[in-house]
Amino acid sequence: MKNQFRIGLIREAKIPQDNRVAFTPLQCHWIQHHYPHVQMIVQPSPHRCFTDAEYQQAGITVAEEMESCDILLGIKEVPATQLIPGKTYLFFSHTKKKQPQNQRMLQEIAEKKITLIDYECLTHADGQRMLGFGFFAGVVGAHNGLMAYGNRTGSFQFKRVHQSHDFQEMIAHYFGVMLPPMKIAVTGSGRVTAGVLEIMGLLGIKYVTPDALIMQEFDYPVYTQLKAGELYLHKTDKTYNRLDFHQHPENYDCKFRPFVRAADILINGIYWDHRIEQLFSWDDLKDPLFRIQVIADITDDASGSIPCNLGDATIEDPVYGVDRLTRARTAPAQPQSVDMMCVGNLPNELPRDASQYFGDQLMKYVFTELLTPTTDLVKRATIMDKGQLTAEFSYLQDYLAGA
């Protein structure tokens, strides 16, 4: 280990500018205190959810110059022109699936002999991702889904999340809210769903089994959780095997259909890819007994697990309607429509907490590995090493070459 190790928190420059950051002022302070040979340097930003002054008050250097840093931490892709030659960067590069919009950036990374470590590729031994913003996507998505239901039915009102300073302030507004009887189906089992369940708990919404949600009515609000094991069944042997499902989801049928006639709200947090059967079909939406009035599609793939996801709404205006018969986009709260809450950057509504959560995970699983000469964990997540694709990512060669 060298004497002074400098970590730079770069300004988010991709437009629109992201307001999240890898470490909060308090976390930076903690790092400098516990690792005296580490210095944190923060590039000034008018968009970050923590102000430059907050970092300065925590004793952290705020400086434009990032050249002296050993590693640079961002969140979103770095515009090609702003990449500093020879540096080591960590951010979500969105290049591992050969995303066309980031091809030029990867070429610039190669030309500038940069080392790129992608947060998304930092995984535990079983392949589970170490880092993500899913928890607060779940928190915000569940809140917004319930808010849409309250607005639609006129039965209760929620404040917008981004009007609160942080999570603590947001949940303070739950005090005194009287929720009507309603049945909520929550799907998934990862970070997003953990965030959704946090909101269910904070609002005192009671858990019931999947069967009870289908078979019974309640005079208080209830939810059930449908993990992949409750949602999918092998087409032939009618069982669920997690590993086999992950490898061959096309061999599984989806069992969600009874819930379209039972639930008032669907909060969707599953992992999905195009081989996995949709939760229901457009034909189900035409069913006169289709009961779901609001879908908070946190998974959020256009025409993905939810057929009537017609694309992203925005944080400013997060809900639109979809006519169940004509499939047309409508204003929210129309009798013939289902209301859709589909927003792709939900954690940005609660950026201070989302950043702290991210920094906690980064600290817990990755930080010390970044200070030592390359470890296996970091190697596996390194897409480019001093401008050369690593063996693990050599399949990106044609993409890098411009194909």
Where in the sequence numbering do the catalytic residues fall?
Answer: 76, 94
Any idea of the CA torsion for 175, 185, 225, 268, to the nearest 10 degrees?
A: -90
| Rounded (10°) angle between helices 351-365 and 25-34 | 20
Q: Which of 300, 339, 349, 353 binds ligand NAD (CB under 6 A)?
A: 300
Rounded Cα–Cα distance for residues 27 and 32 (Å): 9
Q: Which stretch binds ligand NAD (CB under 6 A): 23-31, 70-78, 252-260, 337-345?
A: 337-345
Q: Name the residue nearer to ligand NAD (CB basis): 98 or 261.
A: 98
Rounded Cα–Cα distance for residues 369 and 190 (Å): 25
Q: Applying CB under 6 A, does 345 fall inside the site for ligand NAD?
A: yes
For residue 48, the number of C-alpha atoms closer than 13 Å in the C-beta half-sphere is 25
Q: Name the residue nearer to ligand NAD (CB basis): 133 or 358.
A: 133
Q: Which stretch binds ligand NAD (CB under 6 A): 80-88, 175-183, 343-351, 365-373?
A: 343-351
Q: Name the residue nearer to ligand NAD (CB basis): 8 or 134.
A: 134
Binding string to ligand NAD for residues 175 to 194, with x set by CB under 6 A, is what?
-------------xxxxxx-
C-beta separation of 89 from 78 below 8 A: yes
Q: Which of 186, 298, 313, 400 binds ligand NAD (CB under 6 A)?
A: 298
Binding string to ligand NAD for residues 128 to 167, with x set by CB under 6 A, is what?
-x--xxx--x------------------------------
Which residue's entry shows tokens 């516990």? 34
For residue 90, the number of C-alpha atoms closer than 13 Å in the C-beta half-sphere is 25
Q: Which of 221, 269, 318, 321 binds ligand NAD (CB under 6 A)?
A: 269
Residue 127 falls in which region: left (phi positive, over 0), alpha (psi -120 to 50) or beta: left
- The residues near 175 (Cβ < 8 Å, ≥ 6 apart) are none
C-beta separation of 114 from 383 below 8 A: no
Q: Name the residue nearer to ligand NAD (CB basis): 27 or 193.
A: 193
- Which parts of this chain interact with ligand NAD (CB under 6 A)? 129, 132-134, 137, 188-193, 228, 246, 249, 269, 271-272, 298-300, 343-347
Annotated binding site for NAD(+): 244, 271
